[in-house]
């Protein structure tokens, strides 16, 4: 199946599919064959219920992509059950999209990478751009024959833990905080409308504040790879650096991880999914408030 983008700003980048590409394959999306599966990933599944891309199944980020008690990733067994229920195998081509500028779709992309799925792509522009460009939607919920899904890994090279961040404070590692400046400086504990919070505000010492939205154009699609490369280069983040990205709960940082790892081909990028909820609640953790001093 040809997945090469056909009209993207990021021509030649095979981690993205364009709306035109997907619209031309809706018949294949709706087929019961596991070859191609489209997944909408939302924090609020009411969006999906109001209307979604024909053939797309829905995954609820809050209920299905994190452990309700441990606030951890789904286990390999739970992840296999979730995907298999939707008729997906480890050989399926998976296209992801969702709300909030693809935050949650990017997080599932990252989890799929962690569990070794090879053929996974983001729909450039996500749900918002698809609807605003007046492409087809439906309220019909598809049902596919359940399949056996066998995850690989986990491949820990894409994930950072608390101890990795602690080590990074004394090693040549670039930390990127993708949250809003108010969160980064400690003026906000949570972004507007969100509930999960930490005891303290601020950021990890040495972290560079490059807000997730800097990766996107005004229409929600990704900026060109040339523009993105220049953005990170001017901030002192280079392709051969060891990079850890984080936000509040790991989903916004997944979008920046996707840009650096998948669009710009950085060699070592890890998503710290414990994120500020973990770090801001740690007793004795080093925290900086206000702007980070720069040389």
Per-residue pLDDT averaged across 162-176, rounded? 94
Q: Indicate whether 11 pLDDT > 90.
A: no
Q: How high is the pLDDT of residue 6? A: 46
Q: How high is the pLDDT of residue 89? A: 97
Contact 295, 184 (CB under 8 A): no
Q: How high is the pLDDT of residue 13? A: 54
Q: How high is the pLDDT of residue 193? A: 67
Q: How high is the pLDDT of residue 294? A: 62
Q: How high is the pLDDT of residue 233? A: 97
Evaluate the omega torsion of the peptide bond into residue 148 and state whether it is cis, within 30 degrees of 0: no
218 in helix, strand or coil? coil
- Which of 59-63, 181-185, 228-232 shows the lowest per-residue confidence on average (mean pLDDT)? 59-63
Q: Indicate whether 251 pLDDT > 90.
A: yes
Q: How high is the pLDDT of residue 198? A: 82
pLDDT band at 68 (very low <50, low <70, confident <90, very high): low
**Of residues 247, 259, 263, 269, which has the active-site annotation?**
247
Per-residue pLDDT averaged across 51-64, rounded? 94
Q: How far apart are CA 261 and CA 269, in angstroms?
A: 6
The backbone region for 28, taken as left when phi is positive above 0, alpha when psi lies in -120 to 50, beta otherwise, is alpha
Per-residue pLDDT averaged across 72-97, rounded? 96
Active site residue 247: yes
Mean predicted lDDT score pLDDT of the chain: 91
Q: How far apart are CA 162 and CA 182, in angstroms?
A: 23
Residue % of the chain over a pLDDT of 90 = 82
Q: How far apart are CA 129 and CA 13, in angstroms?
A: 19
Per-residue pLDDT averaged across 152-174, rounded? 95
Domains identified in the chain and CATH numbers: 16-154 (3.40.250.10), 157-279 (3.40.250.10)
Q: How far apart are CA 94 and CA 120, in angstroms?
A: 5
């Amino acid at each position: 199946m040809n997945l090469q983008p056909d009209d993207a700003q990021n021509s030649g980048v095979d981690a993205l599919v364009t709306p035109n590409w997907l619209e031309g394959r809706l018949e294949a999306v709706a087929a019961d064959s596991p070859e191609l599966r489209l997944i909408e990933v939302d924090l609020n599944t009411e969006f999906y219920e109001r209307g979604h891309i024909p053939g797309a199944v829905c995954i609820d980020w809050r209920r299905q992509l994190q452990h309700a008690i441990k606030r951890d990733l789904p286990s390999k067994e739970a992840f296999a059950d979730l995907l298999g229920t939707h008729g997906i195998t480890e050989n399926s081509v998976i296209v992801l999209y969702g709300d909030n500028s693809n935050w949650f779709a990017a997080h599932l992309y990252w989890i799929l990478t962690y569990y070794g799925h090879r053929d996974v792509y983001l729909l450039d522009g996500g749900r918002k751009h698809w609807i605003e460009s007046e492409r087809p939607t439906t309220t019909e919920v598809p049902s596919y024959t359940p399949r056996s899904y066998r995850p690989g890994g986990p491949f820990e090279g894409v994930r950072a833990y608390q101890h990795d961040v602690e080590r990074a404070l004394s090693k040549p590692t670039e930390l990127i905080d993708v949250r809003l400046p108010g969160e980064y400086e400690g003026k906000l504990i949570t972004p507007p409308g969100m509930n999960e919070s930490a005891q303290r505000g601020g950021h990890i010492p040495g972290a560079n504040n490059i807000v997730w939205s800097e990766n996107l154009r005004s229409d929600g699609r990704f900026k060109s790879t040339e523009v993105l490369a220049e953005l990170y280069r001017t901030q002192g983040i280079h392709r051969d650096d060891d990079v850890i990205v984080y936000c509040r709960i790991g989903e916004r940082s997944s979008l920046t991880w996707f840009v650096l790892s998948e669009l710009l081909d950085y060699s070592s990028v890890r998503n710290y999914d414990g994120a500020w909820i973990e770090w801001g609640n740690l007793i004795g953790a080093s925290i900086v408030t206000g702007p980070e001093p720069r040389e």
